[in-house]
Structure 1
Amino acid sequence: MGRLQDKVAIVTGAGSGIGRACMELFAREGAKVVGCSRTQSNLDETLANVSRDGGEGIVVAADLSTPEGSQKLVDAAIAKYGRVDILLNGAGVGYSWEKTHAGSMGAVTETTPELWREVMAIDLDSIFYMCRLVIPHMKEQGNGSIINISSVLGVKGHPDAHAYTTAKGAIVNLTRSLCAAYALDGVRANCVCPGFIDTPMIETHISMFDDEAVADRFCPMRRTGTPDEVAYGCVYLASDESTYTNGSIIMIDGGTSARI
């Protein structure tokens, strides 16, 4: 406990899944947390969990696919706590988005320009907007940790979800570029690539792990991961334990990326 004591952390995608797990764990480790997603009721649940465990934080409902939404979030964090030590970029959509946005997880020839731009705005543009606003504060402080959530599909090819996989691949290289640009300013940037994590994002595909033979094709451990298993890796990157970890791409995928 106390690995993030007195640090201020912005966590996007905090309404569910990996983002929620990170916000709750960061708070338990002593950080003051500022959570964001589009849905206020989901954020309220996350904040209630933080408060129940004795943590401190606020939540901001905003659409981070727009510059205005990102500005709203950063302004709220600075107004409340005066600094940002950690930025966890966890906001994004995945296969579950297909249920309400048909065609969004298709191959290139099956994806309209409108759906392509929509997924890219949520999964990639949001990280650009947040980084460009937060990095100046971190540079002024002389330190900061940025953690970008990509995906195992950001480093492996896939027959569908091409907008998603393209955005996640871009996050990997954006992370490396942030490291190269801001390392001497004390700002670190690292990337976490989760595999099949039991979250609402993959709820439409999670049943494939019911079949052991099918599960073995996708993951040597033959199971999905949990949001907490990803959050523990993110705590390391957020903490001072990782001060020489910069530009790293960390796979938390049960060995999925090890498969040919």
Structure 2
Amino acid sequence: MAGRLDGKVAIITGAGTGVGRACMERFAEEGAKVLGAGRTLATLEESLSHVPSGMGAIHVADLSKDESADAVVAAAIAAFGKVDILVHAAGVGYSWAEKSPGSMNDTVNTAPDKWREVIGINLDGYYLMARAVLPKMIAAGGGAIVGVTSISGLLGLSAAHAYTAAKAGMINLTRSLCVSYAKDNIRANCIAPGFIDTPMVASVVGIFDDPVVADQLAPMRRPGTPVEMANGCLYLASDEASYCNGSVLVIDGGTSARQ
């Protein structure tokens, strides 16, 4: 079924890799013009190369910075004239510990600066993007916001406490956006992925080669793919999800069913 987003303009954050890149591709396939935002020009350019000519644009931004979100929204409007959809896939996960040691530890072993770092990237960025895009959506008569969270925001874990707190915060912010802006014809939903085969977990994805471990990680015994996550975002952003608001769509191959 093609054309589900014909005439729409979507901002996709975290668009340089993984779920964000897959969202750029899938949304463009379904007729949307897409503005991809992220930290690294080279990866954004690679994502843009998978989008039909004239259907995409990119903007380099550190979305943990207050001013960056406004600049992303302005870039989308300059390129395509409006914003109908925000998919916030930007964030860091377990692989961030390689660049920032100590950022994915438990509470006692997470220094305050590491806590603020992860919260700033994962939660503050979502708040800032929503804050920047909502006035445009309200003025236009509606829109759709989709946050890419994690089942780690629904479960207690022994490590990565800043990460789990940020993802839980994203989930409840999504619900609060629903409550506040439904009257403005704005829907806010999120997906909660499980173990997804992205660069964020590339160093450990081989653990699925062990069938016993694979079964413990997910009853489907494999990681999910970025495209499977993008399909969930696409559904929530489309008119097919017209009565979905404040929803958390878990896409985890059954991992959380055992909790």
Pair 1:249-2:221 in alignment: no
For structure 2, the residue ranges without an aligned partner over 5 or more in a row are none
Which residue number in structure 1 is paired with residue 41 of structure 2? 40
Normalised by the size of structure 1, how large is the TM-score?
0.97
Say which is worse superposed, 169-178 or 200-209, in terms of deviation.
Answer: 200-209
Taking the TM superposition and a 5 Å limit, the aligned residue runs for 1:84-233 are 84-233=83-232
What's the CA shift string for 1:44-88, capped at 9, x where partnerless?
Answer: 00001113xx56110001100011111211111112222110000
What's the CA shift string for 1:126-145, capped at 9, x where partnerless?
Answer: 00000011011111111100
Report deviation, 1:20.
0.3
| Paired residue type of 2:75 | A
What's the CA shift string for 1:152-195, capped at 9, x where partnerless?
Answer: 10101111011100000111111110000000100000010001
Report deviation, 1:200.
0.7
Say which is worse superposed, 14-23 or 55-64, in terms of deviation.
Answer: 55-64
Which residue number in structure 1 is paired with residue 82 of structure 2? 83
Aligned residues: 258
Normalised by the size of structure 2, how large is the TM-score?
0.98
Tell me the distance in 1 between the aligned counterparts of 2:94 and 2:49.
28
| Paired residue type of 1:42 | T
What's the CA shift string for 1:216-244, capped at 9, x where partnerless?
Answer: 11211110010001111111111111111
Tell me the distance in 1 between the aligned counterparts of 2:108 and 2:190.
29
Pair 1:27-2:49 in alignment: no
Tell me the distance in 1 between the aligned counterparts of 2:54 and 2:166.
33
Tell me the secondary structure at the aligned position of residue 49 of structure 1: coil
| Paired residue type of 2:34 | V
Tell me the distance in 2 between the aligned counterparts of 1:211 and 1:31.
40
Which residue number in structure 1 is paired with residue 50 of structure 2? 49
What's the CA shift string for 1:88-141, capped at 9, x where partnerless?
Answer: 000000011111111111111111111110110100000000001101111111
- Residue 95 of structure 1 contacts residue 204 of structure 1 at CA under 8 Å; is this kept in 2? no
Pair 1:12-2:13 in alignment: yes
Runs of 4+ in structure 1 off by over 6 angstroms are none
Tell me the secondary structure at the aligned position of residue 50 of structure 1: coil
Tell me the distance in 2 between the aligned counterparts of 1:109 and 1:205.
25
For structure 1, the residue ranges without an aligned partner over 5 or more in a row are none
Tell me the distance in 2 between the aligned counterparts of 1:150 and 1:232.
15
Report deviation, 1:205.
2.5
Tell me the secondary structure at the aligned position of residue 58 of structure 1: strand
| Paired residue type of 2:225 | T
Tell me the secondary structure at the aligned position of residue 9 of structure 1: strand
Tell me the secondary structure at the aligned position of residue 95 of structure 1: coil
Tell me the distance in 2 between the aligned counterparts of 1:176 and 1:254.
23
Tell me the secondary structure at the aligned position of residue 10 of structure 2: strand
| Paired residue type of 2:48 | L
Tell me the secondary structure at the aligned position of residue 102 of structure 2: coil
Say which is worse superposed, 204-213 or 229-238, in terms of deviation.
Answer: 204-213
Tell me the secondary structure at the aligned position of residue 159 of structure 1: coil
What's the CA shift string for 1:12-42, capped at 9, x where partnerless?
Answer: 0000000000011101110000001100000
Tell me the secondary structure at the aligned position of residue 216 of structure 1: helix
